[in-house]
Amino acid sequence: MNLVYYALQQLINALSIGSLYALMAVGLAMVFGILRLINFAHGDLMMIAAYFAAFALFANLPLPLAIGIMIVGTILVGLIMERVAYRPIRGAPDVAALLTSFAVGQILQNGTLLITRLLQKPSPLAFPVIGILSGVFAFGPITVPRVNVVSLIAGIVLLVLLSLFVTRSNLGLSMRAAAEDLHAAQLMGIDINRVIATAFAIGSGLAAVAALLYAVQAGQLTPYMGFTPVLKAFIAAVIGGFGTIAGAVVGGYALGALEVFLTAIPGIGDILPPGLVSPEVQTFLKTWLPGSLTSYRDAFVFVALILMLLFRPGGIVGRREREEMQ
């Protein structure tokens, strides 16, 4: 019976991590879909959002106002980033654009470092405790951290809103047209600059929400905290099908499930109730799937990415686009 609770708990963990990855991956995928740009500075945008939230909360602003400031501030940074760095290199080769996004990331990281130093804040900076996001929910014997439940709900609500936006509104339709064929969309009279700015704005806003939830779980902020999340978001987007919003969402939840699986399975030999499997199987599990394997999780996730790139570059939902990859 314990095993069922254990599995349920892991399922909720998977869905909540998946929501964060999906929120991040959608921003990457929208920009990639239109511009063929892998925007690695997306992770640093998330970092900036967490700092905005922290500083607003330090100033004792009420939570809704702090969240508002965080979202608006992050969207502004995202728009400035697009205007100053990415618009001049539109049409540049893939790799040049990718490297530019790394440089933008360096500027955001070191800018944050510089400002926090000047304000004499420590690094890492402890993220303020938010009452309604701390503690746990107890559903019978299962306890789940509140922030996980909120992540899950926030992720689903925002992603549903996004899908309504891209299918029902004019701007959303133009965005999908631009992702299909930028040049043709332009010929049809779509204002490309407006569409691209919208993609960056929505991506930044979603990243900001993900940042808040991520920061609550991590408990502390550093200027370099965006690197791992953006890598994960990228992996999620590739697994799902790069360049499409649906792919990013599917990939986000798939990656969440994969990670929780990779964390939960090693060490399973130690928690299986006696008598469920034969002793030989239990010894086998203990020998070959020791709990220490968990620390290799990120390595396995990247192996999954590389396998995906090689064997199904179109992703779970995507079309096969082998030609483009090689």
Nearest to another protein of 201, 309 (CB atom): 309
Six-digit token string for 33: 């879909």
Binding mask 182-221 for another protein (x = CB under 8 A): ----------------------------------------
DSSP code, position 125: E
Six-digit token string for 156: 């689903």
- Identify the residue among 220, 298, 316, 317 touching another protein (CB under 8 A): 298
Stretch that binds another protein, among 11-19, 113-121, 126-134, 206-214 (CB under 8 A): 113-121
Give the C-alpha separation, 176 to 5, whole Å.
42
Does residue 174 touch another protein according to CB under 8 A? no
**Phi and psi for 259 in degrees, rounded to 5?**
-65, -45
* Shortest distance in whole angstroms from residue 324 CB to another protein: 8
b/e string for 131-148 if b means 16 or more Cβ within 10 A? eebeeeeeeeeeebbbbb
Contact 223, 112 (CB under 8 A): yes
Q: Under rule CB under 8 A, which residues in 35-74 are in contact with another protein? A: 38
Stretch that binds another protein, among 57-65, 136-144, 193-201, 303-311 (CB under 8 A): 303-311
Q: How far is CA 21 from the centre of its chain?
A: 3
Stretch that binds another protein, among 15-23, 42-50, 258-266, 304-312 (CB under 8 A): 304-312
Nearest Cα to Cα of residue 38 among 105, 84, 88: 105
* Shortest distance in whole angstroms from residue 107 CB to another protein: 5
Does residue 94 touch another protein according to CB under 8 A? yes
Nearest to another protein of 149, 231 (CB atom): 231
Q: Using DSSP, how many helices (H) and how many strands (E) does the chain show?
A: 14, 4
Contact 223, 113 (CB under 8 A): yes
The amino acid occupying position 180 is: E
Stretch that binds another protein, among 4-12, 89-97, 142-150, 196-204 (CB under 8 A): 89-97
- Identify the residue among 143, 193, 283, 295 touching another protein (CB under 8 A): 295
Give the C-alpha separation, 127 to 50, whole Å.
8
- Identify the residue among 8, 72, 79, 92 touching another protein (CB under 8 A): 92
| Residues in the chain, overall count | 326
Residue with tokens 């640093």: 44
Does residue 139 touch another protein according to CB under 8 A? no
Helix/strand/coil (H, E, C) string of 72-100?
HHHHHHHHHHHHHHHCCCCCCCHHHHHHH
* Shortest distance in whole angstroms from residue 309 CB to another protein: 6
- Identify the residue among 192, 309, 316, 317 touching another protein (CB under 8 A): 309
CA dihedral 192, 196, 199, 201 (to 10 degrees): -120
- Tell me which residues touch another protein (CB under 8 A): 38, 85, 88-89, 92-100, 102-104, 106-107, 109-111, 113-114, 117-118, 227, 231, 234, 238, 292, 295-296, 298-299, 302-303, 305-306, 309-310, 313, 324-326
